[in-house]
Copies of this chain bind each other. A is one copy, B any other.
Amino acid sequence: MSHQEGLTAYLAAFVAELAHSGVKDIVISPGSRSTPIALVMAEHPDLNLHIHVDERSAAYFALGIAKASKKPVAILCTSGTAAANYYPAIIEAKISRVPLMVLTADRPHELRDVGAPQAIDQIHLYGQNVKWFVEMSPPDHREDMIRYSRMVCARAAATAIRYPAGPVHLNFPLREPLIPNLHEKLFELPERSEGYVEIHEGKLSLSEGTTRAIVNSLSAKRRGMIVCGPIEDENFAEAVIELAKRLQFPVLADPLSQLRSGKHSGELIIDAYDTFLRYEDVKKTLTPDVIIRFGAMPVSKALSIFMKENRMVRQIVVDGGSGWRDPLTSATEMIYCDESLFSKTVTQLVEPSNDSAYLDKWQTINHHTKGTLSAIRDNQELSEGKLFHMLADLLPKGSTLFVGNSMPIRDLDSFFFMNEKEIRIMGNRGANGIDGIVSTALGAATVSQPLYLVLGDLTFFHDLNGLLAAKLFKLDVTIIVINNNGGGIFSFLPQADHPKHFEKLFGTPLDLDFHHAVDMFGGSFVKVQDWDHFQEVFRQIIDQQGIKVLEISTDRDRNLREHRDLWKSVSREISQVIKSADYGE
């Protein structure tokens, strides 16, 4: 059999299995070595191909599709530094548990490490940052090797999906000529008439004995709290709320827990803790005797410090993905069990509590904090906090809010409160980078509509190239750029007290007018004048298509002052509440 026939049969088997494994979307960056894989993929009727020139953006775009769809997405590039550009998104996928199938074309063995063009060392290119690496065999037409090609694909997809989900990397050594023989029966696979491997994944569940022991130990607890960090399980919200009701525990809901917005009961949701857990009197009042934590670590530093300060109490970490999510070294129990399953089972077995005293305190303090913070609504000047307060009102039901790292996610945490609008909140909180946010959001926008992206100017700049996807694939997205001309978060960090090198090293004003870039990518751009103008434009563009960018200019120093003033007001208000309620027992 010829080289071409072997190449074709081997890759067609792989691609057929890929489609069968649940992969619908493939993001391809053009290149020469990857030609045969790309051509075979283009022939498959069930695959959506997205062509994205910049591999860094391409990988983040795929990450966004995978996050939003909860399905594995494949990325394909040629040999060389192209593949290295995937690295940031791969690391983000690994830590935030998103299934990606990374397919890289490579030079064959005889062209490696011998000075051949565009040849780098792609073996274990991503080190520990993928769940599985396979150096594929060179394409081969023999039946065993066709079966091998299919097996690796099925197994790779299963590995990527298996919780904790993550990226896998398959490296394909390909020899010239790189042209497959595209014929009508490409995906008919006589070598395996019995069909595909079907994969069924189990979930981690505890034995009844272990569950009963945990349940018994929880029954005695009167001051328990539940902390929900970023988690992406759609059954989780209902399950954890039921558990909390049963135990009468407050639920501290991180913005990415998907508990801040939805049809589930909001009564037990605590959403202003990032503000009120800054105060000593509050923290003393709310000292818990047990903490049950689900999901990744929450964004809030105040909450982290609170949990750290309570390291003498029982802290239970539940993780269906067998990680070790305990940066505070505060865990007393590490429970490896599916989070929804755990919540449901414990709810069924535990005696309902009728002591709501501790919960009441959380609810009261939370309520007053939100009341005071809502004063931000009266601020006339454009500000970062008020934006998120308004978005809870303005966003349409069922929309997706993608939020950038650094300050936006923190301001969201502080000012975006519980509502029933089923707004899905997304972010890249695996490694918390400012890179790739535009592309990840645009990937998500292919799945979830309408999608709103809020991010800072440095983050927007970092992935401007990502906008190309919106132009080429005609995506609809509303982007709100908070432009404080530099790195706003540094004003909140200790270096702000050292003015000598501050602006140069940390403030880093770029002085860019993004209007130009948005024009280049065929979007519309509006520089927001004031809040009335913002609301007016926001409502106008809801039905418009394409890229819509609203820029809100803010001032880093003023923003810092606004935050500090609000924190002071809350502190005064809450101290009063605690005193008058005689909480200071």
> Contact at A498–B461, with CB atoms within 8 Å?
no
Q: Which of A494-549 contact B (CB under 8 A)?
A: 494-495, 497-498, 500-501, 504-506, 508, 510-517, 519-521
A120 to B297, CA, bound (A): 14
* Per-position 1/0 for A39-61, Cβ under 8 A of B: 10010000001010111100000
Which B residues lie within 8 Å of A119 (CB)? 327, 431
Q: Interface range on chain A: under 10, 10 to 19, 20 to 34, or 35 or more?
A: 35 or more
> Contact at B127–A508, with CB atoms within 8 Å?
no
The interface stretch among A78-86, A235-243, A259-267, A277-285 is A78-86
> Contact at A489–B32, with CB atoms within 8 Å?
yes
Q: Which of A463-500 contact B (CB under 8 A)?
A: 464-465, 468, 471-472, 487, 489-490, 493-495, 497-498, 500
CB of A121 within 8 A of chain B? yes
A368 to chain B, nearest CB (A): 29
A91 to B39, CA, bound (A): 28
For A503, the closest partner residue in chain B by CB is B51
> Contact at B432–A505, with CB atoms within 8 Å?
no
Which B residues lie within 8 Å of A56 (CB)? 56, 85
> Contact at B465–A464, with CB atoms within 8 Å?
yes
CB of A117 within 8 A of chain B? yes
> Contact at A465–B462, with CB atoms within 8 Å?
yes
A42 to B507, CA, bound (A): 14
For A32, the closest partner residue in chain B by CB is B493
Which B residues lie within 8 Å of A117 (CB)? 297, 299, 327, 429, 432
CB of A189 within 8 A of chain B? no
> Contact at B114–A327, with CB atoms within 8 Å?
yes
CB of A356 within 8 A of chain B? no
* Per-position 1/0 for A287-329, Cβ under 8 A of B: 0000000001101000000000000000000000001111101
A297 to chain B, nearest CB (A): 5
Which B residues lie within 8 Å of A464 (CB)? 464-465
For A461, the closest partner residue in chain B by CB is B53
For A114, the closest partner residue in chain B by CB is B327
For A297, the closest partner residue in chain B by CB is B115
Q: How many copies does the complex hold?
A: 2
Interface residue from B178, B494, B515 paired with A177 (Cβ < 8 Å): B494
A298 to chain B, nearest CB (A): 10
> Contact at B129–A39, with CB atoms within 8 Å?
no
A293 to chain B, nearest CB (A): 10
Which B residues lie within 8 Å of A95 (CB)? 120
CB of A145 within 8 A of chain B? no
A125 to chain B, nearest CB (A): 7
Which B residues lie within 8 Å of A516 (CB)? 516-517, 519-520
Which B residues lie within 8 Å of A433 (CB)? 80-82, 118
A325 to B120, CA, bound (A): 13
Which B residues lie within 8 Å of A340 (CB)? none
> Contact at B53–A114, with CB atoms within 8 Å?
no
- 6 new A-B contacts at CB < 8 Å, known A468-B512, A472-B510: A35-B493, A35-B506, A54-B435, A81-B87, A124-B127, A464-B464
Q: Which 4 A-B pairs have the closest CB atoms?
A: A115-B325, A116-B327, A81-B433, A516-B520
Report which A residues bind B (CB closer than 8 A): 28, 30, 32, 35, 38-39, 42, 49, 51, 53-56, 80-82, 84-85, 87-88, 90-92, 95, 110-111, 113-121, 124-125, 127-129, 177-179, 182, 296-297, 299, 323-327, 329, 429, 431-433, 435-436, 458, 461-462, 464-465, 468, 471-472, 487, 489-490, 493-495, 497-498, 500-501, 504-506, 508, 510-517, 519-521
Give 29 A-B contacts (CB < 8 Å), ordered by A residue. Answer: A30-B505, A32-B489, A35-B493, A39-B495, A39-B498, A42-B505, A53-B508, A54-B462, A56-B85, A80-B431, A81-B431, A84-B88, A95-B120, A114-B326, A114-B329, A115-B324, A115-B326, A117-B299, A117-B432, A118-B433, A119-B327, A121-B127, A177-B494, A178-B494, A179-B494, A468-B510, A472-B510, A512-B520, A517-B517
